[in-house]
A = this chain, B = another copy of it.
Amino acid sequence: MSASELKTTRSMGPVFSPPATEDLLNGGRLLRRAFLEAGACSSRRGTTVIEPEQTDPPVFLIHRGLAYSSATLADGRRAITEIHLPGDIVGAASIVMGGAHYSVIAGSDLSYRPLSATTLRGLMGNPQIAMRVLALVGEDRRRADRHMVGLARLDARERLCVFLVDIHDRLRRRELISRPTFNVSLNQDEIADHLGMTMVHVSRTLRRLREEKLVIVDRHVVIILDLKAMREVALGQASEAVKEIIPA
């Protein structure tokens, strides 16, 4: 089996460096276990889970619901830099950076498990966990890169397709959904802040996508009608390198 075939075969989840994979899997197990020892918390939609001023904030494993990281400028302009889904670990980088420079806000009613920064720093003594934490941050970074490319070079329609397909794929990979229908508990204002556009234009663009019979977004329910076509809009012009990251 060739290398490329191998890559296509294991299309679930992010592709790690083969020599590191063993450690990563084990580190992942240990890390999850550490989270499970912590008690579960919950926050209602709209609550700020992490404040930017907070020093040495805890790290969260999201159990249910959706959260996002956002930064607000003094004049009120806001950008949502990342969407966190169930299974995501939020804020891993802050254990060395001494604090987030953004807020983490519950986008829906949320349940999660916090792990104190100190505890996690202690766990870093285990190289497998250290590797795993590094992988978490690396994965975030990869997503951030893709998002930057989108913000810099895609138009509104493309951004929305990428956004929706992305969420779909992440939920699918985690086996949280089995059909191309899911719930995104963000309102259009929040989507706009994530994609660098206005609510008005999100609304118009969603209408267009609906008319094109690509996807229906009503309230918080997303129904993807033509996943293949959406992928084409999203990645039709993505480079081969980027395509490899996204499972078909």
Contact = CB atoms under 8 A, between A and B. Distances in A.
Interface of A: 3, 14-20, 24, 52-53, 55-56, 69, 71-75, 77-79, 81, 93-99, 101-102, 117-118, 121, 124-125, 127, 130-131, 133-135, 137-142, 144-149, 151-153, 193-196, 236-242, 244-245
Copies of this chain present in the complex amount to 2
Contacts of A125: 127
Nearest to A77: B153
Contacts of A72: 239
A73 to B, nearest CB: 4
Contacts of A236: 74
Given A15-B98, A71-B149, A147-B148, 5 more contacts: A17-B98, A69-B145, A77-B237, A134-B134, A141-B141
A241 B71 CA distance: 9
A240 B142 CA distance: 27
A55 B56 CA distance: 35
B96 A134 contact: yes
25 contacts: A3-B55, A14-B97, A16-B96, A19-B56, A19-B117, A52-B239, A71-B149, A77-B153, A77-B237, A93-B134, A95-B134, A96-B134, A97-B135, A101-B242, A101-B245, A124-B127, A125-B127, A127-B127, A134-B134, A141-B141, A144-B144, A144-B145, A147-B148, A152-B195, A152-B196
A196 B151 CA distance: 7
A11 to B, nearest CB: 14
